[in-house]
Amino acid sequence: MSKTSDLPFWLRPPGLVVVVGLLTALKLFAAANAYIVEDEAYYRIWGLYPALSYYDHPPMIGWWITLGQAVFGDTVFGLRALVVFSGVIGSLALWRTATILFDARTAGWAVLFLNTSLMIGIGGILATPDAPSVVFWGLTFWALAELTVSKNPNWWLVVGLMAGLGLLSKYSLLFLGAGILLWLVWVPDARRWWMTWQLWAGGALALLCFSPVLYWNHLHEWVSFYKQFGRAGSSGFTAKYIFEFLGAFVGLLNPLIALLAAGGAVILYKAFRARDGAASLVLLTTLPFLAYLCYHALHSRVQANWPAPLFPAFAIMAAVFVVSLKGQKEIWRKVAVAGVAVGVLVAVVVQFHAVYPVTGQLARKDPTFQLRGWQEIGDALAELADREQAAFLLTSSYGLNGQADYLMKDRLPVFQTTERIRYIMMPATDETLFRKPGLYITEKRRNKAGDLERAFDTVEELAVLERKVKGVPLEKLVVYRVEGLKGPVFEPLSVQ
């Protein structure tokens, strides 16, 4: 066991507070000043119309955004505020978890590794469902650690509450539940919990938390479940995506930290075979979701953000490996320090680049390209709307609809003509509005202006707008004038 007083300053709580505090300050700067990506713009609408659940995901990120908007207004920072602060809670939970399962040295390294992973260090400002998913997965794991060490069955109530809140964030928390069941079966000392009422009460509490999502899906023909659970295995077997997934996972974890985590997994596996409670808890709560992601990658693409809830566990694995060296093989400690340094450096560079672009030469290959050029597009749209006396703006993709809705707030109402199930939480639209002239905007590469001829007599191209960064073209957007309502503007509502 490492005593806190024996640790270097940057592995002790005061040092970790400094490191995490500085990285959080950097995130706050970027969160307030970097423009929003398409998914965030879409989830912003959820915040404006809080509901029991939504088509794409459970409601937690929408509720977080609602709270942020209530405090900081309908602003970029209001959108992201709770996401940034949740990272601090996640770090605290990870430190406590690793401390009681292993020791203070392991905890210090784990917190450093998590905060310098590229997904958390850079992507930790984005208001997407991954943010609450990561923090509630981590809090559930923390409660399990407290249970393991204290032997107090009342911790099952906390486990159930945190897991339930996690299920309100993203369906991926179901895989954590599968891991908990494996742990309860595999570890002899854990089997005692099957006979305690608190275990079953915790499960009931998780289900109670999740009940708004179940009720909403019941009202809407289980549309969200069809969308999410119909993905895996929906196409044939292919090896096309598996290496892409593994590469993205390693890259976003931070390649040096990933290397250390692999070593830690080997060490924990040896203890796992002996049915050690702590090692088994780390590995078994990780395994089901990781196995699913690999299975999914053998059929279709895994989005880079999906594995995010696993990153705290992999940070612990990397820390276990570094601490196990005990003065031997100094090269691995240098790798650990280099991994932290690289993570901090990349986070600083990318966060500043997100706000003040260093170059535009990478164009769409730049991971921050979604942030660029929207203010100019908004100004151009406002000018066209005034000139044409437009009463509304139409789109046909959820990402562009979200961006346009934010750009045109307090100016024009914005509607997506397709996929109306995404906006079922919004008040019904008075379609007499469409008897007035309006605008339609679409990406040139996805131009569906011809589809509007079923609804309007006139569909006339007005302008081609170009998103740019430092003069480098990113994307062309075509704006049309629509007038003369003759048919339904919205496609028929479909839940499947």
84-116 residue pLDDT tens: 999 999 999 999 999 999 999 999 999 999 999
State residue 114's pLDDT score.
97
Residue 149 has pLDDT above 70, yes or no: yes
285-298 residue pLDDT tens: 999 999 999 999 99
Instruction: Say if CB 78 and CB 120 are below 8 A apart.
Output: no
Residue 1 has pLDDT above 60, yes or no: no
Give the mean model confidence (pLDDT) for residues 6-25.
Answer: 93
**Is 485 exposed, middle or buried, given 0-12, 13-18 or 19+ CB atoms closer than 10 A?**
middle
Q: Which of 106-115, 362-371, 427-436, 440-449 holds the top average pLDDT?
A: 106-115
26-74 residue pLDDT tens: 999 999 999 999 999 999 999 999 999 999 999 999 999 999 999 999 9
What's the whole-model pTM score? 0.94
Q: What are the distances in angstroms from CA 151 to CA 97, 143, 154, 411?
A: 15, 11, 9, 59
Angle in degrees, 0-180, between the axes of helices 104-115 and 76-101, rounded to the nearest 10: 150
Residue 315 has pLDDT above 90, yes or no: yes
Residue 75 has pLDDT above 90, yes or no: yes
Per-residue buried b or exposed e for 111-146, using 16+ beta carbons within 10 Å of the residue's own CB: bbbbbbbbbbbbbbbbbbbbbbbbbbbbbbbbbbbb
Per-residue buried b or exposed e for 330-363, using 16+ beta carbons within 10 Å of the residue's own CB: eebbebbeebbebbbeebeebbbbbeebeebeeb
Give the mean model confidence (pLDDT) for residues 197-216.
Answer: 98
Does residue 494 or residue 418 have the better pLDDT?
418
Instruction: Say if CB 302 and CB 296 are below 8 A apart.
Output: yes
Share of the chain above pLDDT 90, in %: 84
Instruction: Say if CB 76 and CB 274 are below 8 A apart.
Output: no
Structure confidence at residue 233 as a pLDDT band (50, 70, 90): low
CA distance 252 to 477: 31
Residues paired with residue 416 on neighbouring β-strands, in sequence order = 395
Structure confidence at residue 494 as a pLDDT band (50, 70, 90): low
The sheet carrying 393-395 orders its strands as 414-416, 393-395, 438-443, 472-485, 456-469
Q: What are the distances in angstroms from CA 328 to CA 5, 76, 124, 336?
A: 22, 48, 34, 14
Average pLDDT over the chain, rounded to whole?
Answer: 93
Does residue 5 or residue 152 have the better pLDDT?
152
State residue 289's pLDDT score.
97
Structure confidence at residue 245 as a pLDDT band (50, 70, 90): very high
Structure confidence at residue 125 as a pLDDT band (50, 70, 90): very high
State residue 76's pLDDT score.
97
Residue 230 has pLDDT above 80, yes or no: no
Give the mean model confidence (pLDDT) for residues 339-354.
Answer: 93
155-190 residue pLDDT tens: 999 999 999 999 999 999 999 999 999 999 999 999
Residue 236 has pLDDT above 90, yes or no: no
Structure confidence at residue 196 as a pLDDT band (50, 70, 90): very high
Q: What are the distances in angstroms from CA 27 to CA 123, 125, 353?
A: 9, 6, 12
Residue 5 has pLDDT above 80, yes or no: no
Q: Return the structure tokens found at 20.
A: 């995490």
State residue 455's pLDDT score.
93
